Homo-oligomer: A and B are copies of this chain.
Amino acid sequence: MNIFWEILKPTNHKVFGEAIAILAGDALLTESFLMMTGTTSNGKKLKPTYLMNAIIEIASAAGACGMVGGQVQDILSESSEPDINTLYFIHLHKTAALIKASVRIGAILAGARRNKLKVLTRYGENIGLAFQIIDDILDIEGKTEELGKSAGSDIKKNKMTYPSLIGIEESRKKAQDLVYEGVDALRIFSFEADPLREIARYLLKRRT
């Protein structure tokens, strides 16, 4: 008996029905903005202008010009010809936008200046894109037990991915370049950016 199958649970809409599942999404989305208004640092309330900028960051990254936009394009592209520019758009919005936002928000709440935010934007986008490409490589190579979904499940669904468009080796190189470039951008930071460097390195090592 594989431990992996024991922790698999049916999704919300299978258990509670589609209407409740959609409402759960609406509620979580709304509650997330409510939570952000009460965000504190070491128990101290943060500056309202910083919090407001963090809310702008998350809303922009999640909404029509971010994750939702990428998801819509992903659905619209399901039956169309594979195209590397469309795929880049999808990854940049569906995956990288929120990763970028999560990297930037720490800096925003600490009152970082524009030049530092610019560097973190570059790092976050690159890491986000690399994460997605590596995910698609692992989907082909990975074993079901390790990955949490059936290996090759994207191929079965005829999904547009980097490996399916430019091959596994080229994709791996692309992901590496993105990660190196992202880490290189961090050079204006000293050891305080080490956790970000470590995350980047982990991305290239991960097998699951």
A contacts, CB < 8 Å to B: 18-20, 22-23, 25-27, 29-31, 33-34, 37, 48-49, 51-52, 55-56, 59-60, 62-64, 68-69, 71-72, 75
Contact = CB atoms under 8 A, between A and B. Distances in A.
Given A48-B49, A48-B52, A27 B59 contact: no
B34 A63 contact: yes
A62 B25 contact: no
A75 B21 CA distance: 12
Given A19-B75, A20-B75, A72-B20, A33 B52 contact: no
18 contacts: A18-B18, A23-B71, A23-B72, A27-B68, A27-B69, A29-B30, A30-B62, A30-B63, A30-B64, A31-B63, A31-B64, A33-B33, A33-B55, A34-B59, A34-B63, A48-B51, A52-B52, A55-B55
Contacts of A27: 63-64, 68-69
Nearest to A26: B68
Contacts of A62: 30
Given A37-B56, A52-B51, A55-B55, A30 B72 contact: no
Nearest to A64: B27
Contacts of A68: 23, 26-27, 30
Given A56-B37, A72-B20, A29 B31 contact: no
A198 B82 CA distance: 58
A51 B68 CA distance: 25
Contact of A37 (B20, B52, B69): B52
